[in-house]
């Protein structure tokens, strides 16, 4: 490789005379002077040259490790920063691809653009303040959506059996169904129109919850007779949440951060002394 990294460290700094390092021979006595890299060693070679000697100083002082090439320094220090700048090393690109931060401005695919245009054209607000949103179904989804009534009825009978054994669950489930009707979230189906998909549902209890002790889940991932579910035949649209990598990196730039989930304040410990 013609060039691996720029000079290391990035800039020359004044070396500090640490008492615990005065009697040893460093592998690089001029470690504080910015210079080019002489040789790149594989991790296997490092395992062969490492020795048992280890010298530690106080906090914020480097640790000296003995090797067959001399003593090397490592550890947290506040005296200087060494920045490795990588340039033109396509041959070892796989080493940093894992660390690459995804761009937040990635162009949308045709399917994602379809979802955006669909929501823009069809979403409307009703007189009662609620929003009406059209499902982003895939092209020719009718041909791939199979029959689902038999499986949904079987699941409903299982649910009935469970409700008959638990009066508390039965009462909570009934309240949920009536609330859904009162809010206008569902109504009785009076016409048979194809294609039609029957969604099974079940309840998830969390008795220690301070708000909702019962959550009813509608299973749109249940397969129909063709092997496709309702979810399979809908476009997913663009990702709305932020990239986790960029979110975590931005999190670390602040001393105090808030988490909306648990309503607690967390402090990012960036100072090694704390």
Which pLDDT does position 264 carry in this prediction? 45
On whether both 187 and 161 belong to a single domain, the answer is yes
- Going residue by residue through the chain, which has 274 residues, state the pLDDT in tens, using 9 for 90 and above: 666 677 888 788 888 888 888 889 999 888 888 888 888 888 888 889 999 999 988 877 888 999 999 999 887 655 445 555 555 556 556 655 555 555 556 788 888 999 999 989 999 998 988 888 899 999 889 899 999 999 999 999 999 999 999 998 999 999 999 998 998 888 888 887 778 899 999 998 888 887 788 899 999 999 999 999 999 999 988 887 777 777 788 878 888 877 665 444 444 444 444 4
Give the three-state DSSP class for 53. strand
Number of domains forming the structure of the chain: 3
Q: Residue holding tokens 């199979």?
A: 146
On whether both 206 and 129 belong to a single domain, the answer is yes
Which pLDDT does position 266 carry in this prediction? 45
Tell me the residue range of the domain where 36 lies.
19-97
On whether both 70 and 163 belong to a single domain, the answer is no
Looking at the domain assignment, is residue 69 inside a domain?
yes
Beta-carbon neighbour count of residue 71 at 10 Å?
A: 20
On whether both 126 and 215 belong to a single domain, the answer is yes
Strand partners, 214: 205
| Tokens standing for residue 191 | 């016409």
Beta-carbon neighbour count of residue 224 at 10 Å?
A: 22
On whether both 55 and 80 belong to a single domain, the answer is yes
CB 49 within 8 A of CB 67: yes
Give the three-state DSSP class for 26. strand
Q: What is the C-alpha separation between 58 and 77, in angstroms, rounded?
A: 11
| Tokens standing for residue 230 | 């309702």
Domain boundary among 53, 76, 97: 97
């Amino acid at each position: 490789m013609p060039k691996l990294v720029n000079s290391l460290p990035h800039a020359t700094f004044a070396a500090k005379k640490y008492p615990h390092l005065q009697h040893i021979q460093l592998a690089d006595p001029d470690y504080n002077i910015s210079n080019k890299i002489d040789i790149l060693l594989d991790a296997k070679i490092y395992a062969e040259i490492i020795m048992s000697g280890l010298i530690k100083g106080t906090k914020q002082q480097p640790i000296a490790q003995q090797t067959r090439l001399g003593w090397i320094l490592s550890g947290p220090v506040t005296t200087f920063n060494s920045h490795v700048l990588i340039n033109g090393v396509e041959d070892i690109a796989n080493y940093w691809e894992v660390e690459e931060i995804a761009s937040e401005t990635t162009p949308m695919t045709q399917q994602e653009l379809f979802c955006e245009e669909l929501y823009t054209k069809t979403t409307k607000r009703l007189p009662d303040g609620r929003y009406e949103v059209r499902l982003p179904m895939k092209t020719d989804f009718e041909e791939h959506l199979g029959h689902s009534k038999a499986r949904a009825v079987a699941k409903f009978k299982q649910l009935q059996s469970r409700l008959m054994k638990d009066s508390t669950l039965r009462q909570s489930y009934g309240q949920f169904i009536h609330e859904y009707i009162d809010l206008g979230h569902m109504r009785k189906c009076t016409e048979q129109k194809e294609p039609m998909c029957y969604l099974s549902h079940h309840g998830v209890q969390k008795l220690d919850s301070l708000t909702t002790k019962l959550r009813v889940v509608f299973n749109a991932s249940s397969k129909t007779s063709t092997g496709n579910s309702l979810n399979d035949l809908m476009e997913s649209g663009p990702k709305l949440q932020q990239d986790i990598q960029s979110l975590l990196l931005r999190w670390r730039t602040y001393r105090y951060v808030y988490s909306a989930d648990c309503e607690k304040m967390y402090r990012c410990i960036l100072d090694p002394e704390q």
